[in-house]
Chains A and B, each alone.
Chain A
Amino acid sequence: KAGVTQTPRYLIKTRGQQVTLSCSPISGHRSVSWYQQTPGQGLQFLFEYFSETQRNKGNFPGRFSGRQFSNSRSEMNVSTLELGDSALYLCASGRTGVVADTQYFGPGTRLTVL
């Protein structure tokens, strides 16, 4: 069974630009969650999508948005990039949602903002 895939794996952007990251969940999984990992902050929850609907949202500004398609693939968009957006962005998939130990993480996309 293929795992969670994220593309691209690495990305370099400049301030003010926008970026779109993609996540393909494990086949059959309908939930996709996004996390931002920065040194010293751990993983911070961005949002969760389930069946194309945003079900939960973390405390991030509106520059961070996402969507989920009918095939459960999800994209995350960050507009007007800031230096502080440099981080590892991880997505996790689950069958029914964020419940205990049913989250499977992808390898992440390393975003560097110059």
Chain B
Amino acid sequence: DQQVKQNSPSLSVQEGRISILNCDYTNSMFDYFLWYKKYPAEGPTFLISISSIKDKNEDGRFTVFLNKSAKHLSLHIVPSQPGDSAVYFCAVFYNQGGKLIFGQGTELSVKP
């Protein structure tokens, strides 16, 4: 039973427009929510995170939104750039479990 789900395996967006990546989770006890980006032949790299006590965190073009009542996490990239094309993984962490739980990933393609 997957605790973290990214229901869209792929997303295609025009350069300059907004990219919205979504993630749903099942356990309300998670403490942190993170997004990682992965290019081919490289390991995932940390992008942005948010703690469970907040509902928004912004870092440059990247904003993460947390809707705890809906158990939903989203990543907004504005404006999208071709270099943003990668696979994006959402991940959750809870202190008691001591491990990261990842979603299946969404492949973002930003077209010039």
On A, residues with C-beta under 8 Å from B are: 4, 33, 35, 40-45, 48, 55-56, 58, 90, 92, 97-101, 103-108
Query: Which chain A residue lies CB-closest to B4?
Result: A42
Asked whether, in the complex, the Cβ of A43 is within 8 Å of the Cβ of B32, the reply is no
On B, residues with C-beta under 8 Å from A are: 4, 6, 9, 32, 34, 36, 41-46, 49, 51, 89, 91, 93, 97-105
Q: How many A-B residue pairs have CB under 8 A?
A: 61
CA distance A104 to B32 in the complex (A): 17
Asked whether, in the complex, the Cβ of A107 is within 8 Å of the Cβ of B102, the reply is no
Query: Which chain A residue lies CB-closest to B45?
Result: A105
Chain A residues with CB under 8 A of B46: 101, 103-104
List, sorted by A's number, 25 A–B pairs whose CB atoms are closer than 8 Å: A4-B43, A33-B99, A35-B102, A40-B104, A42-B103, A43-B44, A43-B102, A44-B102, A45-B99, A45-B100, A45-B101, A55-B98, A56-B98, A58-B99, A97-B98, A99-B93, A100-B51, A101-B32, A101-B46, A103-B100, A104-B46, A105-B36, A105-B43, A106-B43, A107-B42
Chain B residues with CB under 8 A of A108: 43
Interface centre among B6, B32, B34, B98 (most CB of A within 10 A): B98
Q: How far is the CB of A23 from chain B (nearest CB, A)?
A: 11
Evaluate whether A101 and B49 lie within 8 angstroms (CB atoms) in the complex, with A43-B44, A92-B43, A107-B41 already known: yes
Asked whether, in the complex, the Cβ of A98 is within 8 Å of the Cβ of B93, the reply is yes
